[in-house]
Structure 1
Amino acid sequence: MTIDPNDPFLSLTDLSDAYRVGSVKPSQVIRAHLDRIARVDPLIGAFQVVYDEDAMMAAEAADKMFASGNRLGPFHGIPFGLKDICDVEGRITTGGSKAMEDRVSRVTGTLAHRLFAAGGIMLGKTKTVECALGGWGTNQKMGTPRNPWDMQAHRVPGGSSSGTATSIAAGMAVCGVGTDTGGSVRLPAGFCGLVGLKVTERRLPTDGILPLSQTLDSPGPLARSVEDTALMLLAMDGVAGWSVDQDRQESRCLFDSLRAGVKGLRLGVLDAQERAECTSDVIEGYDAALGVLRNLGAELVPFSASKPYAELTAACGALIAAEGYYHHGHLYDQSDLPMDEDVRSRMLGGRDMSASNYMRLLSDREEARDIYISLMRGLDAVLTPTMTTTALRLEEVDQAVSPGHFTRPVNYVGMCALSVPTGVSDAGLPTSLQVIGRPNDEVMTLRIGAAYEAVRDPLSYPVLT
C-alpha cells in the first residue's frame, strides 16, 4: 500500500503494512514526525524531551534492515512516545517533578527494552502528572499539556499519561506508553479521543518504572485504533514479531477475536444511580454506543456493583495515597522542594495511615474483587462511560475531586478495561466508552471495542489552529 509519510494521523497498522511492502521508509516517517513535533509541540507541550538525533539514527538503521529483508515485525520502525516515569539507561527520568529534573536512569526497564527489541523508535519522553498522581493531567511546575481538541481554551488532557495522549492526538506520535493506577491510561485516552488499554495488574513488567502504587500500577498502550492498541500490547508483552505477523495474516489468536463481533454476548450497563453521575453529552455518547452494540447482536443487561462506584473510587484513592506516600513521601515532606501543591495535598493524605488501616484496605479490596467478579457471572463484560464529563477548562477543575469515577474502581477490583472513543459532543469534545473485563480477559475488551469501532461513525481529528 502507498501512504504519505507526512500524514500526521497514520495508523500503526497502515504504517507497518507500508513498511513491509517497501512503499515508505522509516527515515521518511520519523523525519516527518520530528518536523511536526518542532512545529506543533510549542503549542501543545506534550514532550518533556525529544531525542531527534537518536530517533533518526534508529530510523536509518531500520531503513537498512528493511532493505536487507530483516524486518523484525509489525512494530519495527513505529514512532512512539515513552511516559517520563519510564527509565532508559543514561537518560533523565523526571517523573514529572522539578525536584527530579536531574535524575539520570541507571537501567532500562524491561518494558522499554521490549519495545526497542521490537524495533520501535522512541521519539522522546512525554509529560506526566507529578509522580503520576492525578487524573486531570495538570502539572504546576513542569507544565500541563493542552488538549488538542480545543485550541482556543486550555482544556485538561487527562492524566497522568497526559503527554503520551496529547502527542498522539496532535499527530506527533503514532502510539505511546502510559501507566494506569487509577485511570491514567484510560482517562487521557478518553479526554483526547484515543484508545487506551488498562491491563490486568502484573501482566506487564513494572521494573524501571517509577512506582506510585505497587499494588495497582499497570503500564498500558495508547493508540488511535483498537487494532493499533492490540499490536502495541503484543510488543509490550514481548511476543516475537514474526509470530504476531503470522497470527495477523492468518487471523489467528488475538486477531481472530478482533473480528469475532459481539453477537450473543451479554454486556452489563449502568443503572440509573450511576447514569446520574454523568453530564448529558457523556450519556448521549454512551447511549449511542449501547445502541450500536445492541444492533450488532449484544444483549444489554442492567448491572449494579455491590457498592456505588464513588465508594470504590474513594477506597482506591486511599490505597494509592498510602502506597504513594511510601514511595515519594520524603519529597513532599520537604516544604522547600518545588513540588506540585495539588499533588502534595493528595500524596500527604497517605502519611498518617496506620498499618492496621492499610492492611484493612488490602483485605477489603480482596473482598470487593470477589464480589464484583461474582456479580459479573453470566456477563462477558461491563460497559460504562470512561469519564463523567468531557474535558474541562483548566480553571474549572476541582483538584479535590478525581475524574476517575468509573476508572478507579476497575483498578481497585483488579479488572482490565479498554477505553474507546464514541465520537465528539456538540461542543466538539471527545466522549468515550469503557469496556470492563475480568482479570486477564483483555482479549474480550479488545474484541468488543473492535466490533464497536468497526461500525461507529468515522472520527474526525483535532484541528490545530
Structure 2
Amino acid sequence: MTFDPDAPYPSLTALADAFRDGQAAPSRVTRAHLDRIERLDPRIGAYQAVYAEDAMQAAEAADRMIAAGNWLGPFHGIPFGLKDICDVEGRVTTGGSRAMVDRVSPATGTLAHRLFAAGGIMLGKTKTVECALGGWGTNQHMGTPWNPWDLGAHRVPGGSSSGTGAGVAAGLAVCGVGTDTGGSVRLPAGFCGLAGLKVTEGRLPTDGILPLSQTLDTPGPLARSVEDAVLMFLAMDGVDGWCVDRARRDGTGLFAALRAGVRGLRLGVVTERERAVCTAEVLDAYDAALAVLRGLGADLVPFETPHSFADLTASCGRIIAIEGYANHGHLYDRADLPMDEDVRGRMLGGRGVTARDYLALLAERAEGKARFVALMQGFDAVLTPSMTMTAPRLDEVDQALAPGHFTRPVNYFGLCALSVPSGLSPAGLPTSLQVIGKPHDEAMTLRIGAAFEAASPPMPVPLD
C-alpha cells in the first residue's frame, strides 16, 4: 500500500515503516504538520510556541540520514509536541505562567535529550495548566486549548497536559509528551480520545522538568494508539532504536505483550460505591468495554478497596499541594504577579503545613501502598473509567472539584496505568477505559489496552 505523507493523522507506527522503507520523508510529513498547525491552531490553541524553522532543519537532516542508510529507529523523523514544563536549553519554558514568560531553560532535560537522540522532531512547546496543577486543562492567562471534539462549544481538553492532548487529537502532532502527577496524562487522553501511559513512579527521569510534586510526578506519552504510545515510551526510556525495531519485528519485549490477549486474566472492576460518581454515559461505555474484555476471555471480579477512591484522591491532593507550594509558593504568595487564581487557590492549600504533618502523610502513603499492592496480587490489573464524565464545557467547570477521581489513586500509590479510548458518547465526546497495573507492570496494562483496542471499532478523528 502506498503511504500518503500529506494525509492527516498518520500513526507513529505507519510513519516509522514509511520512513524506513523510503515511502515518505520526514521533511514532508513535518511540513504537513506545520501547515496544519498554522491553519488550525489559532482555533485549537494547543501550542505555546512553534519552532517551525528548527523543526524543518531537523527533518531535512533526518531525510539525509535515512537516505544514507542511517535510520535510527522507529522514532526517527517523528514530529512531536513537548509539554511546556520541559526544559530545552536556550528555549523559554513558561510552565504555563505569564510570570515565567522570560524564563530561559538553562539545560535540556534527560527526557528531551532521549527523544532528540532517537531522531524525534520537536514541533514546539504545548500548553499546560499553570505549574501543571489542574486536571481540567484550564489556564486563565495563557489560554485553555479547545477540545477538538466540539468546535461549537469550548470544552476542556483535560489537564494538566492540555496542549499535548488537544494537539495530538487535532492532528497537530503525531504524539506528545505529557506529565502525570494526579492524572495529567490520562485525563487529556480520556477527554480527547487518545492513548496515554502513566508509568510507575521513578520509571522515567524527571530532571529538566519543572516539578510540581517530586513524590508523584511522572512523564508519559500521549498518542493515537497503544502501539504508538509504546514506541514513544521506549524512546522516552532511552532504548536504542535498533533494539526497538528488532523487538517489534521479532514480537519480543513489550511487543509480545501487545499480542498476548487477555484470555485467562483476572481483572478487577469497580464496585457500586465507585460507579455512583460516574455519569450514565460513562457507565454505559465502561460496561460496554467490560463486555468486550469478558468476550475475549478475561475473568472480571469486583475489586474491593479498604479506602474509597475519593479518600485516596484527597490524600494525593494534599501531597500535591504541599510539595507544589514548596516549589512554587513564592509566586503565589505575591499578589502583584499575574498568577492563575484557580491554581492559586489550590497551591496555597499547601501553605503552613508542618514538617510533622507532611511526614505523617508520606508514612500513611507508604502503609496504604503496601496494603493496596497486596490486594492487587490476586489480580492481573484493575479496570476503571478514566474520568467520571465526558469533557464539560469550559463555562461549566467547577474548579473546586478535581476530575482525577480514578486517576489520582494511581499516583498516590506509585502504580502504572493506561488510558485507552472506549468510544464516543451519544453527544459525540470520547469515553475512556483506565487499566491500572502493579508497579513496574506497564507490559500488562499495555497488553490489556492493546487487546481491547484491537477488538473495538476504530476510533474516529475529530477533524478532517
- For residue 381 of structure 1, what is the amino acid of its counterpart? A
Alpha-carbon distance, 1:450 to partner: 0.3
Alpha-carbon distance, 1:378 to partner: 1.4
Superposed CA deviations along residues 172-215 of structure 1, whole A, max 9, x for unmatched, are 10000000000000000000000000001111000000000000
Structure 2 residue aligned with 1:222: 222
Superposed CA deviations along residues 6-36 of structure 1, whole A, max 9, x for unmatched, are 2121100001101111011111100000000
Alpha-carbon distance, 1:460 to partner: 1.0
CA distance in 2, matches of 1:54, 1:372: 47
* Aligned sequence identity (%): 72
Alpha-carbon distance, 1:99 to partner: 0.0
Matches within 5 A, 1:377-392: 377-392=377-392
- For residue 411 of structure 1, what is the amino acid of its counterpart? N
Structure 2 residue aligned with 1:13: 13
CA distance in 1, matches of 2:214, 2:130: 17
TM-score, normalised via structure 2 length: 0.99
Give the 3-state SS of the residue equivalent to 2:220 in structure 1: strand
Contact 1:92 1:101 survives alignment (8 Å): yes
CA distance in 2, matches of 1:250, 1:180: 31
CA distance in 1, matches of 2:38, 2:463: 17
Give the 3-state SS of the residue equivalent to 2:329 in structure 1: helix
Structure 1 residue aligned with 2:107: 107
TM-score, normalised via structure 1 length: 0.99
Structure 2 residue aligned with 1:339: 339
Structure 1 residue aligned with 2:417: 417
Structure 2 residue aligned with 1:322: 322
CA distance in 2, matches of 1:75, 1:413: 31
Superposed CA deviations along residues 254-279 of structure 1, whole A, max 9, x for unmatched, are 11111000000000001011011100
Structure 2 residue aligned with 1:254: 254
Superposed CA deviations along residues 283-339 of structure 1, whole A, max 9, x for unmatched, are 011000000000000000000221010000000000000000000000000000000
Alpha-carbon distance, 1:443 to partner: 0.5
Matches within 5 A, 1:70-85: 70-85=70-85
C-alpha RMSD over aligned residues: 0.6
Would you say how many aligned residue pairs link Structure 1 and Structure 2? 464
Matches within 5 A, 1:187-202: 187-202=187-202
CA distance in 2, matches of 1:259, 1:342: 44
Alpha-carbon distance, 1:2 to partner: 2.3
Structure 2 residue aligned with 1:158: 158
Matches within 5 A, 1:313-462: 313-462=313-462
Alpha-carbon distance, 1:414 to partner: 1.3
Structure 2 residue aligned with 1:86: 86
CA distance in 2, matches of 1:314, 1:395: 24
- For residue 297 of structure 1, what is the amino acid of its counterpart? G
CA distance in 2, matches of 1:462, 1:64: 34
Superposed CA deviations along residues 130-168 of structure 1, whole A, max 9, x for unmatched, are 000000000000000000000000001000000001110
Matches within 5 A, 1:6-85: 6-85=6-85
Matches within 5 A, 1:95-134: 95-134=95-134
Contact 1:2 1:24 survives alignment (8 Å): no
CA distance in 2, matches of 1:165, 1:207: 22
- For residue 360 of structure 2, what is the amino acid of its counterpart? R
CA distance in 1, matches of 2:70, 2:227: 24
Structure 1 residue aligned with 2:4: 4
Contiguous gaps of at least 5 residues in structure 2: none
